[in-house]
Structure 1
Amino acid sequence: MEALVQLRDYERQIDLARAFNPRIRILRDRTNPLEMFDESQFRRRFRLSKESTRDLARMLEPNLRKDTRGAGLTVLMQLLIALRFYASGSFHIITGDFFRIHESTVCRVVKGVSRAIAMLKRRFIYFPRREQHPQIAARFSELSRSNFPGIIGAIDCTHIPIVAPSHQEAQRYYNRKHFYSVNCQVVCDADMHITNIVARWPGSTHDSRIFRNSVIHNELEQGRYDGHLIGDSGYACKKYLLTPVLQERNAAERRYNIAHRQARNVVERVFGIWKRRFPCLQYTLRTKIPTTQLVIIATSILHNYAIRRGEPEFEDEEIPNENENHVGLPDERDNMTGVNWRNQIINMHFA
C-alpha cells in the first residue's frame, strides 16, 4: 500500500513538471574562428588567410544581405561556413565543428555564398584582351622553353566527382573513369589564372563537344582573338586550337610536341592547385547539380582571387593525373586549315 502511494506521488510530480517546465533555450556557439586560430591554423581550415577572408566578406556583403540572415549569421560567418565546406567537402564536419548549426542551414549557406561568389565571375574570370595577347604569348614561350609563337591559353577538361543524380538522366553523368561527375572545361594563361570556365556538362560528354558548344569557341571562330589555344589530342586541330602531332615523322615534329607538352602542362598544374586548395572538388560533392555547378564556379573564382592576393599553394596531397596513360578520343573534325597552320609553325619554328 505504501509503495502504491509513493508511485502515485511520483507520477503527480512528473505531471506537474511537464505542465510547468519552461522551454529550454539552446545557446549556440558563435565563437569567431578569426579569433580562435592563429594564421597557420586558420589557413589550414579555411584555405585563405584572415586578411583575404575579411576582404572577401566585404565584397560579398551586397549580394548576401537577403540570404540566410534569418539564422542569425553574419556575412563573415556565412563565408566561413562555405569556405569550411570547400575545404572539407562534408556538411557533417561543419555541423559538428565550432559552428554548431543544423545541416539544413549549412546547405542553404553554402548555396547562398556560392551564388554570391559566382556573381563576381566577370570581375575575376575573363579572357584577355587583344592588347594583352603578345605578353601572354611571351610567357607561354618561356614555359615551352622555345619560340613557340602565339599561344594565348591552354585548354583541358577535368572531372568533378558527384553523387549519382536521382533524375532520369543520371547515366549521362557516368564518365569513362566509371564514376559520376561534372565535366568542367577550363582555359588558363601561363600564370595559372583561369580565364574561361564551363561547368554545366555531364561527365559522359566528350571534351571536344563541350568546346564546340562554348562561347570561347564561337569567339575564336569569328576571329576575335589573335593567337591560338593549345589542347591535347582529344580536340580537333584548328588554326585557333593546336594539338600534338600523333605520329611524329621527324625531329621538328618531335621538338614541336615537346614544346607543346611543356606549355600545355600549365593547365594540369592549375587543376592540381585548384583541387588542393579546395578538396571538395576531389571528394564526391553531395549537393544537387545546380548547387554543384555554383560550387565549381565559386571555387574557380576563389582560385584566381588567391593568386591575385599572393596566397601560398597547398601541398597536402597528390592529385591524380586524369590524362595519365590516356591519349584521348581524337576529334575527327581536323580540317586542312588547322593542320596546315600547325605544319607551318613546325617548319618555321621547330625545323
Structure 2
Amino acid sequence: MEEASGMVVDGGVRGGALTTDERTAIAAAVNVVLYRCEVERTEGKMKAAARARRKVTALPSSGEGLDLGAVSDAVLHVCYAMGSGAFPRATSRWWVKRRTGGTWEDLRQCDDATDEYFRDKLRMSPHVICKIAETLSPYPQRRVTFYRVPLRPDHIVAYALYRWASGETYDSGTCSLDIGRASAITAVRDVTVALLAAYPDKISWPTSLQKAVVLRAFADKGFPTCHGCIDCTHIYVDKPANANGEDYCDRKRRFSVQAQVVVDMNLCVLDVFMGYPGNEHDMRMLHLSNLWERAESGQLFTGPHVMLPFAVRTNGYLLGDNGYPLSEWIVVPYGDLAQHPAEARFDNKHKMARGAVERAFGRLKGMWRLFLRTHNLKCNMDTLPQQFIVVCILHNILIDADIPFDDNHLWEVGPDGVRRRVDLGMHAPLRPVCMESSTCDALILRDALAERMGAQ
C-alpha cells in the first residue's frame, strides 16, 4: 500500500500517486473483504448454534405435546435464510409506501367488473377507455425514479378520468386514487396535455358532411341555417390568491370562472372559450372570444344562403338568450310581456331549440362532476381552462361512442335532506340587452323567422 500510494519508504519515494478513482476502488475492495469476513463469522456462529440445537432435540423428551426444540430449530433456519438474503424485500425502501390495487384493480376485467361499473367510475365503457389509452400512450411521460416504479399510461389515463368524473380534489381523492398527491397532479397534467395534442380537431366547427346533419336538426325545429346554440356557464372556484376577488365574484356572490360554449342539436360542443372572471357579462365574453372575430369577418358561416319571408337572405346564425344583443348572426327571443301570437309562438320554439345548450351543460357537468361542484373548487387557475376544454373533448367522444347519460346525475340531496336539481351555473339575464344597438337587418331576420313559422 505504501509503495502503491507513493509514500516515503526507507527515505525515498516509490511509485506514483494514486488517483481519486483508484483510491475509491481500493477502499471498496477492502470493504468487501471485511464484509465477507463478517458474514462468514456470523454464518459460523449460526451453524454452531444450529448444531447445538440439534443435539438438544436429539435428547429423549419426556411428556407429550409440542416439540419446542424442533420449533426453535425451524425459527433459526428462517432467520438464517432471511439474513442471507434468500427472501426478497417487500419494498425497495422502507420509507416508500407500497401501492395497492385499489380502484384500478377493481376496474380490471374480472367477473364482477361490468360495463356499468366502468361507466360509474370513469363514465365510459372498457372499449372506449382502451381506445383512448392507446391513443394517448405516446404522450404521457413515464418518469423513472429511485423510489417508485413509473405508472403505466393506462393507469395515468384512468386516474385522471376518475378525478374528473368523481369530482374529488387532490386532498380528498388520495385514498380513492391509491396514489399520492404529487402523482395525481402529474397524471391529470399529463393526460390534459395528451388529450389536447391527440384530439386537436375534436372541438371544431362541423365539416361539410357534419354541417348538413346539424342544419337539418335545427330546420326541423323551425330554424333553417341555424348552426348552434350559445350560452355561458359558471365554474365555481376558490378565491384566487393573486387576483382581485371582486372580479371573480358573480351575481350570486360566489367565486367563479365563466365558460362560453356553442353546441349543436346533438349536444356536441362546437366551440368553447373559458378563463375570464365570473362577473363578466355574456356580451363581454362574446367580444373577447375568437368567435366574435370570425363571425364579424364572415369566416364563421360560409354555406349557401337561404331565402326567408320578406326577401331576407341568411347563411347562418346562432340562438342565444336575451343576455346577447340581437344581431345578424345571433337570434334572441322577443321576451315582451304583451306578445303577439306570432311572437309567443316564436319564443316557445326558440326556447325548445335552445334547450339543447342546457341539456349539453347537464350532460357535461353531470358526467364530469369536478366542474359541477357547488362549493368552491381548489385548483390551479392556469390549468383550469385546459382541463375544461379536455372534458369537452371527452364529452364529444362519449357522444360519438353512443355512451348514454343517466339523468340521476342531475339530482342531488342537499344538507336539509331534500332532493333537488343541481346548479348548472347558468344565470338567466336580469334584463334584456338594449336593442338600440341592433341593426335593422337583425330585427328583420327575427321577424322573417317568426313569419316562416306561422306559414308552416
Structure 2: distance between partners of 1:260 and 1:68: 52
- In the TM superposition, residue 140 of structure 1 has moved relative to its aligned partner by 1.4
DSSP-derived class of the 1:123 partner: coil
Q: Corresponding residue for 1:172?
A: 247
Give a deviation string over 1:140-167, Cα, whole Å, max 9, x none: 133x3xx332211000000111111101
Structure 1: distance between partners of 2:99 and 2:178: 6
Q: Residues 288 and 323 of structure 1: is their aligned pair in 2 closer, same or farther, counting only changes over 3 Å?
A: closer
- In the TM superposition, residue 221 of structure 1 has moved relative to its aligned partner by 1.4
Q: Residues 321 and 328 of structure 1: is their aligned pair in 2 closer, same or farther, counting only changes over 3 Å?
A: farther
DSSP-derived class of the 1:77 partner: helix
Based on CA coordinates, which of the two structures has the bigger radius of gyration?
2
Q: What residue identity is the alignment partner of 2:99? A: R
Structure 1: distance between partners of 2:454 and 2:293: 30
DSSP-derived class of the 1:96 partner: helix
Structure 1: distance between partners of 2:179 and 2:348: 52
Q: Corresponding residue for 1:49?
A: 125
Q: Residues 134 and 26 of structure 1: is their aligned pair in 2 closer, same or farther, counting only changes over 3 Å?
A: closer
Q: What residue identity is the alignment partner of 1:100? A: D
1:84 and 1:94 in contact (8 A); partners too: no
Q: How does 1:18-29 map to 2 (within 5 A)?
A: 24=94, 26-29=97-100
CA RMSD in angstroms, aligned pairs only: 2.3
Q: Which moved more, 1:35-44 or 1:48-57?
A: 35-44
Q: Which moved more, 1:288-297 or 1:273-282?
A: 288-297
DSSP-derived class of the 2:283 partner: helix
Structure 1: distance between partners of 2:199 and 2:121: 24
Q: Residues 105 and 171 of structure 1: is their aligned pair in 2 closer, same or farther, counting only changes over 3 Å?
A: farther
Q: Corresponding residue for 1:279?
A: 369
Task: Pick from 188, 206, 220 the counterpart of residue 128 of structure 1.
Answer: 206
Q: Residues 148 and 75 of structure 1: is their aligned pair in 2 closer, same or farther, counting only changes over 3 Å?
A: same
1:68 and 1:109 in contact (8 A); partners too: no
Q: Residues 335 and 133 of structure 1: is their aligned pair in 2 closer, same or farther, counting only changes over 3 Å?
A: same
Structure 1: distance between partners of 2:211 and 2:156: 38
Stretches of structure 2 lacking an aligned partner (at least 5 in a row): 1-91, 302-314, 412-420
Q: Corresponding residue for 2:135?
A: 59
Structure 1: distance between partners of 2:144 and 2:252: 41
Q: Corresponding residue for 2:353?
A: 263
Task: Output the TM-score relative to the length of structure 1.
Answer: 0.85
Q: How does 1:1-351 map to 2 (within 5 A)?
A: 24=94, 26-30=97-101, 32-35=105-108, 37-64=113-140, 66=141, 72-90=150-168, 91-97=170-176, 99-129=177-207, 132-142=210-220, 144=221, 147-224=222-299, 225=301, 226-247=315-336, 249-283=339-373, 284-315=376-407, 316=409, 317=411, 318-320=421-423, 322-323=425-426, 326-328=429-431, 330=433, 333-350=437-454
1:183 and 1:202 in contact (8 A); partners too: yes
Q: What residue identity is the alignment partner of 2:328? A: K
Structure 2: distance between partners of 1:336 and 1:137: 25
2:203 and 2:269 in contact (8 A); partners too: yes
Give aligned pairs, total: 325
DSSP-derived class of the 1:191 partner: coil
Q: What residue identity is the alignment partner of 1:279? A: R
1:33 and 1:42 in contact (8 A); partners too: no
Q: Which moved more, 1:234-243 or 1:71-80?
A: 71-80
DSSP-derived class of the 2:266 partner: coil
Stretches of structure 1 lacking an aligned partner (at least 5 in a row): 1-21
* Identity between Structure 1 and Structure 2 (%): 25
2:262 and 2:271 in contact (8 A); partners too: yes
Q: Which of structures 1 and 2 has the larger relative contact order (alpha carbons within 8 angstroms, sep 6+)?
A: 1
Structure 2: distance between partners of 1:350 and 1:218: 34
Structure 2: distance between partners of 1:228 and 1:221: 12
- In the TM superposition, residue 239 of structure 1 has moved relative to its aligned partner by 1.0
Structure 1: distance between partners of 2:142 and 2:334: 51
Give a deviation string over 1:175-210, Cα, whole Å, max 9, x none: 112211110000011111001001121111111111
Q: Corresponding residue for 1:7?
A: none
Task: Output the TM-score relative to the length of structure 2.
Answer: 0.66
1:253 and 1:350 in contact (8 A); partners too: no
